[in-house]
Amino acid sequence: MENKKKTYVWGIPTRFFHWTLFLALIGAYIAEEDYLTAHVSFGYAAGILVLFRILWGFTGPRYSRFRDFPVGIKSISGFIKGFGKAGNVYPGHNPPASLVMLAIMFDVLFIALSGMLTLAQEGGTGLFSSLTLPAGVEFKEMHEVFFQTGIVLVIIHLAGILTDLFIHKSDSSLKSIFTGYKSGISATDAQLTGFQKVLAAGWILAPLVAFYMVITGPPMQLNEEEGSGESMEMNDNGEAEERGEDED
């Protein structure tokens, strides 16, 4: 249906993804290696959330589908020309937001993947523990690079929201993150089909179940190794590692 006052753009599944991914990334950042089991739990949840979001990008309702992301040269050019104008409002993501959201999704996917490979390489556990990993590849370093990249992308995303709030005070996209509705546009409301509702139920449950199973499972620990490949036992202060390096 056409609605000239406000449009229902973001359904509950999309908003659930947005906020739970935010919480998962914050939780993983806070936990880090000091609370490895919690860090991994949040990581699994984030990875599953993004996998479903990618699937949602092909099967979800309008505005959430990738084909609705205006990332073409013409769209970007039109956005730049109209930047700062009150009427330059998009029903779904605008071009910069589309590019940043795509980058965040795939970066989080690489964060989760490199994290699982790190867990297999240095802890001998996780989904990839049975794989023979290539020697000389430091997946932990890759994991940290992807995570730092993710922080930069999130900062850009927040900067975009604040800019939109300043330019479109009454029609800001910020409210839609909470309510699902965007004001000041005339467009068709997003609606979920029966299939999309079933998929959304799995999308909501899967990351929660994964988080619970990992957080309540056996504690996880990484076994750091020296360059020679010999395992080192460390006390809480890391003194054993330091003595090994001095002896070399």
Q: Is the predicted pLDDT of residue 239 greater than 50, yes or no?
A: no
61 closest CA partner among 20, 91, 99? 91
Confidence band (pLDDT; 50, 70, 90) for 245?
A: very low
DSSP state of 67: G
Hey, what long-range contacts does 166-171 have (CB within 8 A, 24 or more apart)? Answer: 167/84, 167/86, 168/86, 168/89, 171/86, 171/89
168-201 burial, b at 16+ Cβ within 10 Å, e below that, comes to: beebbbeebeeebbbbebebebbebeeebeebbe
Domain limits, CATH 1.20.950, in the chain: 2-217
pTM of the predicted protein model: 0.80
- State yes or no: pLDDT of 145 exceeds 50: yes
Residue 4: pLDDT over 70: no
Q: Which stretch, 133-137, 217-221, 235-239, has highest mean pLDDT? A: 217-221
CB contact at 8 A, 14 and 56 = yes
For 2-217, CATH gives 1.20.950
pLDDT tens string 80-100: 877 766 556 778 888 888 999
pLDDT band at 129 (very low <50, low <70, confident <90, very high): confident
pLDDT-derived band of residue 114, with 50, 70 and 90 as boundaries? very high
Q: What would the two tokens of residue 89 be?
A: 């409002």
